[in-house]
Amino acid sequence: MAFTDHPAAALIARALDATGATAATLLVAGVVALFVLPTIVQWYRLSHVPGPKLAAVSKYWQIRESIKGTLPQVLKDLSDKHGPNDLVTNDPNVLRKMMAVRSPYIRGPWYEAWRLNPTRDNLFSMRDEAGHTALRNKMVAGYSGKENLSMESTIETEIARLVDLIERKYISTSKDYRPMDFGEKAQYFTLDVISDLAFGEPLGYLEKDQDVYDYIKITTASIPTMLTLSCIPRLANMIQSRFLRWLLPKETDKIGFGAFIGVTNNAVAARFAPNAVPQQDMLGSFIRHGLNLEEAQGEAVLQIVAGSDTSASTIRAVMLNMCTNPPVYRKLQKEIDEAIAKGKISSPIKDAEARQLPYLQAVIREALRILPPAGGAFFKQVPPGGDVICGKFIPGGTQIGSSPLAIHHSKKTFGEDAEMFRPERWLEADEDQLEKMKATADLVFHYGKWQCPGKTVALMEFNKIFVELLRRFEWSIVNPLNAAKLNNAGVWMFDDFWVRVTRREQ
C-alpha cells in the first residue's frame, strides 16, 4: 500500500494544513504588529496636523520621490501648500529652535541610514547627544583651521592644479574645440582639496583627470539609495545588521567605494604607526584631541563624502547660474578686474581679500540659497514630553524635518522673485532685511549643535576659486537649451554640464 493511501498520511496532511494556517496567521500578525499598528498610532497622534492623506499612512511617497531625485521640490511644494504647521517645516525659527545648542531635540531615526561603517556611527549619523558632543569637540579645531595653518595654501595648491589641467587639456580656440564637463572637474577639485587637507596629500583626481577608484560613479549610485533607506530606518538597520552587512562595500574590495574606504583607512592607520610623525593637518588635529584609530578612520571617510559632494554642488551652482546670466557674469568679472587693477587682491587671492568683494559675496550667498547643497529633510525627533510647534501640540517621538527649498525660496524672506537667481538682492536690502536673509541663508550649514564643521573650508574654497577662474578664462555653456542635467539625491547631481573655456585677453 502506498504511503499516501495510509490513514496516517491523512492525519499528517491535516496537521500540516493546520500548521501552515497557524504560520500564515502568525506572519500576518507579525506584519500588522510591525507596520500597520505603528502607522495607525502615528496617524492618530498627528491627525490634527494638516498634510497630504497618503503621507499620514505611508512613506511610499518619500521613497518614490527619493528614487526620482525630486524629493526637495516635492517637500517645498507640500510646505508651500500646507504652511509651516506641517511636520516638514518651512519655518527657519522652528529649525533654529530644534538645533539650538541646549535644545532637547535629538536626531531622528532618519540619520541611521547614513552610517558609512555599519558597525559604528560617524559625526553625521550619531544620534546619541553626549557621544555626538564629545566626538565633535575632538574635531572642531581641525575643521576650523586653528591647528591647520596651511589650510589656505593647500586650497590654493589645488586651484593651481585645476587651472593647470584646464590649460593643458581644455582650452578651446577658433581652430581647436575642447569642451569640458565642469560638473566632473568641480568634484575632482573638491575631492583633492578635502583629501589634501585631511591627509596631507590629494587623492590625485586633478592630476590623473579621471574618476579614481570609481568614487563618483559609485557615490552617484549609492547616495540615492541611502536617501531612500533613510525613509525606512528599519530596513537600513536590517541591511547594516551582522547577517546582511557582507553585502555592503568592504575595504578589501579592489574597486568602488570599498576600495576608496581601504585607501583612506590605510592613510589613517599610517598616522597611528609607532614611529609616525605628528602632522599639522586635520587628521593630526583629530588625533591630538583624542580620536582613536577606528574613530579617525570613520571620520576620514565622512570628510571625503560630505566635504566634496556639497562643496562641488555649490561651485557648479555658481558657474551654472553665472554663465546663464550674462549681466551677473560681467558684473562679477568687472569687480574682479577692478580689484586687480587697484592692487586690492593678490595672485592667488587671499580669503580675507575675497571677503571684501561685495558682489562676489552676493553671488556665493545667492548660489547657496537658490540650490541649497544638501537637500534632505534632516529629521529631528521631538523630546519625550512633546512640544508646541506653530500653535499645535506635537507628541514626543515625532520626527520633524525641513524643506530646504521652501525655506530658501521663501518670498516672505527673499522677495517676490525668490525663485530667481539675483545676487543684487543681497546689496539692495535694508539692514533689518539683510540680517533676516543672512540668518536664514546660513541655515544651509545648519545651526547650533549640528552646524556643519566644514563651513570654514567650504567658504574659503568659494572665496578663492571663482576669482582665479574668472581672472584667467572666459566661460560659455556648450548647450544653452540643456545646460546641465540636475537631480537631487540628498545633494544636487550635475550631469553633462559642458562648457567651452578660452583664455582671456589681458
Binding-site positions for heme = 452
- The full DSSP string for 411-450 is HHHH-TTTTS--TTHHHHS-HHHHHHHHHHHGGGG--GGG
Show binding-site residues. 452
Contact 498, 181 (CB under 8 A): yes
Q: Which residues pair with 477 in a beta bridge?
A: 499
The dihedral built from the CA positions of residue 451, 454, 460 and 463, taken in this order, carries a sign that is negative
Strands 88-89, 399-402: parallel, antiparallel or unpaired by DSSP? parallel
Q: Which residue has the cell 557648479?
A: 316
SS3 content of the chain, % helix, strand, coil (to 5): 60, 10, 30
- H or E segment and range at residue 474: strand 473-477
Residue 52: CB atoms within 10 A of its CB come to 12
Q: Which residues pair with 487 in a beta bridge?
A: 493
Residues in the chain: 506
- The full DSSP string for 212-267 is GGGHHHHHHHHHHHHHHHHT-HHHHHHHTSTTTGGGS--TT-SSHHHHHHHHHHHH
Cα 154 to Cα 461: distance, rounded to the nearest angstrom: 10
**Contact partners, residue 11, CB within 8 Å, separation at least 6:** none
**Contact partners, residue 360, CB within 8 Å, separation at least 6:** 332, 335, 336, 354, 463, 466, 467
Cell of 132: 555626538
- H or E segment and range at residue 340: helix 326-341
Long-range contacts of 291-297, Cβ-Cβ distance < 8 Å, separation of 24 or more? 291/135, 291/138, 291/139, 293/268, 293/269, 294/120, 295/135, 295/138, 296/268, 296/271, 296/272, 297/117, 297/264, 297/265, 297/268, 297/269
- H or E segment and range at residue 499: strand 498-503
